[in-house]
Structure 1
Amino acid sequence: MTNLLTTLLSTHDVLLADGATGTNLFNAGLMSGDAPEMWNDEHPEKIIDLYNGAIQSGSDIFLTNSFGANAARLKLHDAANQAHRLSRIAAEIARDLADKADRKIVVAGSVGPTGEIMEPVGSLTHALAVEMFHETADGLKAGGADVAWLETISAPEEYRAAAEGFKLAGIDWCGTMSFDTAGRTMMGVTSTDLVKLVSEIPNPPIAFGANCGTGASDLLRTVQGFAAEHPARPIIAKGNAGIPKYVDGHIHYDGTPELMADYAAMARDSGARIVGGCCGTTPAHLVAMREALDTRPRGDTPSLDEIVEALGAFSSDSDGTGDDAAEPRARRGGRRRRG
């Protein structure tokens, strides 16, 4: 049966996804080091507010509060056995709100990385990774998610394991990587590499792309790298709201709603069919992005100079595909959460 996301992609030129999870939950009182997924159970009213922020801002897709709901990450909070239950609750809350909305909205079950390094570089086996992704995806499906939404992935091995886990759960999916190392992921994947990976895996995503990373400028350069390969599947762009800055003991993102409006239109014109925000993106940003996508006429692909003029400088000279690109780094864990 065709899922809702595929249906909306067939009837809409571009879809607006949601914004940050972590940023908005920290604004609601989440403390650094706490597991946001525990709030699905302990503070469901805060999760309802999070989801409603995206719905009321005009998002066509919003992600569940389940980014770290896998056994490896929850083990750090003595809750490894809660992955399925917390994923299910995250999706149940979302499903109820989406069903009450006055338009069709996709509930996308957020699935983040395990936080472990896979073999042969690390110790996480393919079989165990598949099992963890399967458990999370099965919980999201049980709660009513329309699709699973893999995000902030760095390693192709983990992307493949997730695809296998989603197949076992019987749920369609989307998948993004984070290109935060001079145009590459931490494990050395380029935009071209991801297009090739998506075309080859047995259970490919509905749509693929990039999320998080550094600033919005870098993400659009990566999106243009995807588009240059003429992929068969829709491209996702979920960029951060500017650059993170440490102010008075907290991380703040300097991207204004006006900047994110420009980003949204430029992401669409760069080839993205699904446009959203990641870290730092609040409902105020989403409102501006919605208006930009609805009112600004489609234009030509923006040049790199135009991107820099509108959104700020790139964080590196390299787009990750040249000889000067950074070497992959084996680093344990990665960022705790999206947004």
Structure 2
Amino acid sequence: MTNALTKMLAERDWILADGATGTNLFNMGLMSGDAPELWNEQYPEKIKALYQSAVDAGSDLFLTNSFGGNASRLKLHNAQKRAHELSRMAAEIGRDVADSSGRTVIVAGSVGPTGDIMQPVGTLSHSDAVEIFHEQAEGLKAGGADVLWLETISAPEEYLAAAEAFKLADMLWVGTMSFDTAGRTMMGMTSAAMVEMVDKIDNSPLAFGANCGTGASDLLRTILGFSAQGSSTPIIAKGNAGIPKYVDGHIHYDGTPELMGQYACLARDCGAKIIGGCCGTMPEHLRAMRAALEGSSKSGSPSLEAIVAALGPFSSTGDGTEDNAPTARVTRRRRRIA
């Protein structure tokens, strides 16, 4: 186990993470419905190119191609017995890229949700979830990941199961949730409730935050919600590159590099220390984000009006903490690879 991210967090005012996995892989030929994790074996040169593009664009940290690499997800492709192996491959490719970069680059082992609903609402038990996450964590550890990166989680029970699994694997970790339901996660968690949960976890993450969701404006409102709680744990912001639009049979995100540069600086000003992009974020966006961060200094926390003026309107009127905020939606979690 390395402490590369711990050291970087202590030395840096901000850290630039990577962008999208799925968007880039679709551009390389991945078809809808395919398992990206199988490409770690079938097309390792393309996965290497994915990682390298983030490093070349200035990312200090990139996520491995293992978001859906747990047994529950891989079962959809009859590859559930390959969770450890495919995750190891994802990290090994990343380790080679990072070690050849000539600078410190963090390999973050991506761990996505199981796709199942946990008990008592669903059928997935805590012990089974821990086992699923532990298997994948061990694979990423064997491949040389510096840190585990839990992402796009909606249920606190799943977040806590992953924390327990990562302790079994003796790996440092960070974890983000997706606040995609009018300021809450799909299972109804608010930004304030997440901070409370993170501060109480025995095996606490090195950093926590939000990823994906809807637009960048909404994500920054959530980041402000985190900052307002006063936690000393570093915050992660990994927002989508604008809003998805269906054009000529394909999903496109309308965020320009200039907009993502503004987003990066606003994310820093909102309190985020690790800043990256999620769906739709390409190398050109990352270059603009790096240039914007390097070319400006941190200022005071922006108002909601300033965020809207720079990035566009929020998708909901509130941040999920209102009395009439939406309740949990019980559905099978969709696979996010964009």
State whether TM-score is above 0.5.
yes
Report Cα offsets for 1:30-58 as digits up to 9, x if no partner.
00000000000000011011000110011
- The answer on whether the counterparts of 1:15 and 1:273 sit within 8 Å (CA) in structure 2 is yes
Tell me which residue corresponds to 2:122: 122
Tell me which residue corresponds to 1:320: 320
CA distance in 2, matches of 1:315, 1:327: 17
CA distance in 1, matches of 2:275, 2:204: 20
CA distance in 2, matches of 1:251, 1:2: 38
Structure 1 segments unaligned to the other structure (5+ residues): none
**1:186-201 equivalence runs, <5 A:** 186-201=186-201
**1:1-339 equivalence runs, <5 A:** 3-332=3-332, 334-339=333-338
CA distance in 2, matches of 1:123, 1:297: 48
CA distance in 1, matches of 2:252, 2:114: 26
CA distance in 2, matches of 1:247, 1:179: 25
CA distance in 1, matches of 2:244, 2:49: 24
Q: Aligned to 2:74, what secondary structure does the other structure show? A: helix
Q: Report the alpha carbon displacement of residue 122 of structure 1 after superposing the two structures with TM.
A: 0.1
Q: Report the alpha carbon displacement of residue 2 of structure 1 after superposing the two structures with TM.
A: 6.0
CA distance in 2, matches of 1:197, 1:330: 21
Cα gap change, 1:19/1:75 in structure 2, threshold over 3 Å: closer, same or farther? same
- Aligned-pair identity in percent equals 68
Out of 293-302 and 115-124, give the one that drifted further.
293-302
- The answer on whether the counterparts of 2:245 and 2:253 sit within 8 Å (CA) in structure 1 is yes
Q: Report the alpha carbon displacement of residue 261 of structure 1 after superposing the two structures with TM.
A: 0.2
Q: Aligned to 1:189, what secondary structure does the other structure show? A: coil
CA distance in 1, matches of 2:49, 2:2: 29
Q: Aligned to 2:107, what secondary structure does the other structure show? A: strand
Counting matched residue pairs gives 338
Q: Aligned to 1:296, what secondary structure does the other structure show? A: coil
Question: Which amino acid in structure 2 is aligned with residue 63 of structure 1?
Answer: L
CA distance in 2, matches of 1:24, 1:30: 9
Q: Report the alpha carbon displacement of residue 338 of structure 1 after superposing the two structures with TM.
A: 3.8
Q: Aligned to 1:174, what secondary structure does the other structure show? A: strand
CA distance in 2, matches of 1:45, 1:2: 26
- The answer on whether the counterparts of 1:67 and 1:112 sit within 8 Å (CA) in structure 2 is yes
CA distance in 1, matches of 2:176, 2:182: 17
Alignment RMSD: 0.8
Q: Report the alpha carbon displacement of residue 296 of structure 1 after superposing the two structures with TM.
A: 1.2
Report Cα offsets for 1:123-151 as digits up to 9, x if no partner.
00000000000000000000000000000
Structure 2 segments unaligned to the other structure (5+ residues): none
Q: Report the alpha carbon displacement of residue 300 of structure 1 after superposing the two structures with TM.
A: 1.2
- The answer on whether the counterparts of 1:318 and 1:324 sit within 8 Å (CA) in structure 2 is no
CA distance in 2, matches of 1:248, 1:338: 20
- The answer on whether the counterparts of 2:2 and 2:146 sit within 8 Å (CA) in structure 1 is no
Question: Which amino acid in structure 2 is aligned with residue 76 of structure 1?
Answer: L
- The answer on whether the counterparts of 1:238 and 1:275 sit within 8 Å (CA) in structure 2 is yes
Q: Aligned to 2:133, what secondary structure does the other structure show? A: helix
Q: Aligned to 2:151, what secondary structure does the other structure show? A: strand
Q: Report the alpha carbon displacement of residue 198 of structure 1 after superposing the two structures with TM.
A: 0.3
